[in-house]
């Protein structure tokens, strides 16, 4: 497979999976393993995540601008920003302390990714079928306790294959949020979490970063942006109608297929 085709496929997968609960990292690592694609210092894999992040900014630009400009004198905007910081804080602490273990052990073990995909799929399926009455319907008005606990759930996604969005959504559902607001809050929480993770990755890998294949990086970035844009625009309505079961079954299928391929020696 040519590097250009690999760049397009990986960019597409990054964009399509970053904000749905199937683990973009798990898919990217498994695809890279089976396609034999790995950029120097993982520059490609790191930078194209910014394409997916840009999709969130473009879709929610007006709301983000309102938050950024009104928080000094708008109590509701200020409270939501504080809630985002409270949810983001656990990832900062745990990510900093466990960074080397996560990158050198968990990210290099495809079997861990496959098992995490399967287990996460089963849990998400159970949560989706759980008969419950949501208590919190507005992502901008959760109690601070709920924001913090969702942030703790997000930390589970440091295990590749768990899924950042999947962990935050599952945590939200367990804490009695509704499906739509749980998915929407995972979008907003992605901004500080992914932004900080990409920045820290670039800093830690600064000595081995290689931008010689800038064309591949640009292609992957653009494909990730366009595909993520489509997901962000349509995911909330899809989840409201269909729930999370389709994503749960997809996780299980990919995890089982990955284990079978690894067992076969690929």
Query: End-to-end CA distance of the chain, in Å?
Result: 15
Highest mean pLDDT: which range of 25-29, 57-61, 86-90, 201-205: 86-90
Reported as type and span, the H/E element at residue 118 is helix 110-129
> What's the mean pLDDT in 36-40?
69
Question: What pLDDT was estimated at residue 186?
Answer: 93
Domain segments of the chain: what residues?
Answer: 3-263
Q: Cβ(26)–Cβ(113) under 8 Å? A: yes
Instruction: Dump pLDDT digits (tens) for 85-130.
Output: 999 999 999 988 887 777 776 666 788 889 999 999 999 888 888 7
**Tokens representing 262?**
């690894």
pLDDT band at 235 (very low <50, low <70, confident <90, very high): confident
Question: What pLDDT was estimated at residue 40?
Answer: 62
Q: Cβ(71)–Cβ(81) under 8 Å? A: yes
pLDDT band at 179 (very low <50, low <70, confident <90, very high): confident
The structure's pTM equals 0.85
pLDDT at 1 over 60: no
């Amino acid at each position: 497979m040519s590097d250009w085709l690999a760049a397009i496929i990986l960019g597409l997968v990054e964009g399509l999976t970053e904000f749905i609960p199937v683990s973009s990292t798990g898919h990217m690592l498994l695809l890279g393993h089976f396609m034999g694609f790995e950029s120097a210092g993982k520059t490609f894999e790191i930078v194209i995540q910014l394409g997916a992040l840009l999709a969130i900014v473009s879709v929610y630009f007006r709301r983000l601008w309102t938050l950024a400009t009104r928080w000094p004198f708008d109590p509701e905007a200020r409270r939501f920003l504080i809630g985002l910081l409270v949810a983001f804080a656990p990832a900062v602490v745990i990510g900093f302390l466990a960074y080397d273990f996560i990158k050198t052990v968990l990210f290099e073990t495809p079997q861990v990714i496959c098992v995490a995909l399967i287990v996460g799929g089963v849990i998400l399926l159970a949560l989706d079928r759980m008969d419950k009455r949501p208590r919190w319907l507005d992502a901008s008005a959760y109690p601070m306790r709920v924001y913090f606990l969702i942030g703790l759930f997000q930390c589970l996604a440091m295990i590749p294959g768990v899924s950042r969005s999947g962990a935050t959504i599952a945590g939200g559902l367990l804490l009695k949020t509704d499906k739509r607001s749980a998915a929407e809050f995972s979008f907003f929480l992605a901004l500080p979490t992914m932004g900080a993770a990409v920045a820290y990755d670039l800093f830690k890998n600064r000595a081995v970063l290689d931008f010689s294949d800038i064309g591949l990086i640009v292609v992957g970035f653009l494909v990730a942006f366009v595909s993520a844009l489509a997901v962000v625009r349509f995911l909330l309505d899809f989840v409201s109608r269909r729930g999370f079961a389709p994503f749960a079954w997809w996780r299980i299928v990919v995890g089982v297929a990955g284990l079978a391929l690894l067992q076969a020696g690929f």
